[in-house]
Amino acid sequence: MKKTLIKCGWLVTLDAATGDFADGELLMHGDRVLAVGKSLDAAHDEVIDASDMIVMPGLINGHIHVWQCGLRGIGSEWMGPDYHSNIHANIATRYGPRDNYLGNFVGAQAQIDSGVTTVIDFCHNLKSLEMAEAAIDGLEETGIRAVFAHGTAKPPAKEGEVPFTHVPHPRDRIEALRKGRMASDDRLVTLAMAVLGPHYGTQEVAEADIRLAREFGLFSTSHATKPNDKCVTPRGYLALARAGLLGPDHNIVHGNYIDDEELKAIVDNGATVTATVLVELHGHAPDPLVMRVRELGGMPSIGIDVEPIVTGEMFREMHAALLHARWSAHRDNEAAGKPSMATMPVRSREALEWATVGNARVMGLDKNVGTLAPGMKADIVMLRANDLNVFPVHDPIYTIVEQAGAKNVDTVIIDGVVRKRGGKLLVDEKLLAERMKEMRASAERAMEEASFKVKAA
């Protein structure tokens, strides 16, 4: 396997034992980081000159519905009920396998382009195994690292039909995928289950779904977006905890309305919580859970969620999560009648850890990704430090979290393979243009069939 030596202007490893370096070096051997330090004097086959760049772990998107890429921005002024009525009850019902493939192919390319090396793809419009296979194809063809969380469609129930809230996850699809192409967990795209959970399903369904995930050795994740009186199963996560069904293999997304007792049970049982701060500030009154999880001793996780409503750029989500966490700490301190804080209550490094280490822990990949310590996978991002919006760099962490954006991403390496170099994706330009054109047509067709029109700003 080839050894590549990266000469870094700044090297941010996010590993406490390894440390960060100005003018550091990183030696990559195949798909792994072999060594990190200063003046390694290591034998190598290739040198990458990143002396004017910040070299960092690839960002990880802890929650996104990649299939919705073609619907970007259509709901920028939607409220919560608008999203469900327009997407799940209408536009999503018009999607087929090719639509999912296109959304995932273009959406995953966009994530790579913006410095993301790993995503949890909560794919929740699936009506068939064929749709799931097509969505996986879209991810795999880009070379992104992904946890494909198989979800189910949520159409309005017709007269005489059982509503989706009472329908367990389709065992046949999970079995076919797990015993087929997704049998191994040692691959770039692995399988998980995006289940209803007690906010959107009955307790019987919630329990059955998590048991099914555990039977097949799969991570599971669920949405929690409703006030208690509107949940299908109020305070259902407490019941799951009592049944021994909450643990590190289950992830809860959002959770803004969850009370302190239920949240403590979630964290105490080792389950993880992912906040999508931009979306949650857009349409919910209760705070994102970043600070509440942090105060309970949990590691926060963050993600994008819904591109029809917010940007898909993790740099902006990371910055928003940090600013909201700081603001809420100042607000609560003042409400308690305490003196003004003398030091910043949440450090910038923490926000970068939420977008890397925290998200890696959610999906059980923290032994492979999230830091650039020796032995970790070579998932690496390089940011141009001489771009006008970030120059000059005085501290690389501050620059990454509070100054940089997708426009500064020069190089992206995933599993040791360069996927972007010199600011350009290494994908056939003609193919990408064709897929983008086709995705736009597929989204427009779905919206037309749904009799949906974007309201003018």
Q: pLDDT tens digit string along 31-45?
A: 999 999 999 988 999
> Average pLDDT, whole number, for the chain?
97
The candidate with the shortest Cα–Cα distance to 115, out of 388, 418, 429, 410, is 410
Pick from 380, 454, 384: nearest CA to 6? 380
Tokens of 86: 């327009």
Instruction: Give the single-character DSSP code of 305.
Output: B
Looking at residue 22, what DSSP letter applies?
A: E
pLDDT-based confidence at residue 456 (cuts at 50, 70, 90): confident
Is residue 264 classed exposed, middle or buried when 0-12, 13-18 and 19+ CB atoms within 10 A define those classes?
Answer: middle
Residue 137 has pLDDT above 90, yes or no: yes
Model pTM? Answer: 0.97
pLDDT digits (tens, 9 = 90+) for 332-368: 999 999 999 999 999 999 999 999 999 999 999 999 9
Q: List, in order, residues 6 or more apart from 412 with CB less than 8 Å away.
A: 58, 112, 113, 115, 117, 380, 381, 382, 418, 419, 420
Count of Cβ atoms closer than 10 Å to residue 118 Cβ: 27
Question: 């009648």: which residue's tokens?
Answer: 337
Q: Is the dihedral of CA 287, 67, 70, 104 positive or negative?
A: positive
pLDDT at 117 over 90: yes
Q: Percent of the chain at pLDDT above 70?
A: 100
Both tokens assigned to 396: 């690389």
Question: What are 287-303's pLDDT values in tens digits?
Answer: 999 999 999 999 999 99
Long-range contacts of 175-184 (CB under 8 A, 24+ apart): 175/216, 176/129, 177/129, 177/132, 177/136, 177/150, 178/216, 178/217, 178/218, 181/133, 181/136, 182/136, 182/148
Partners of 377 in the β-ladder = 32
- pLDDT for 159 equals 87
- H helices present in 227-301, as ranges: 236-242, 260-268, 277-283, 290-295
pLDDT tens-place string over residues 318-342? 999 999 999 999 999 999 999 999 9
* Angstrom distance (rounded) from CA 253 to CA 259: 15
Tokens 């073609």 belong to residue = 70
Cβ count within 10 A of residue 73 = 12
At 192, the amino acid letter reads: A
Domains and CATH numbers, the chain: 3-57+373-425 (2.30.40.10), 59-361 (3.20.20.140)
Look-up of token digits 């069904």: 245
In contact, 162 and 127? CB cutoff 8 Å = no
Which is nearest to 301 in space by CA: 327, 261, 332, 267?
Answer: 267
Per-residue pLDDT for 158 more than 90? no
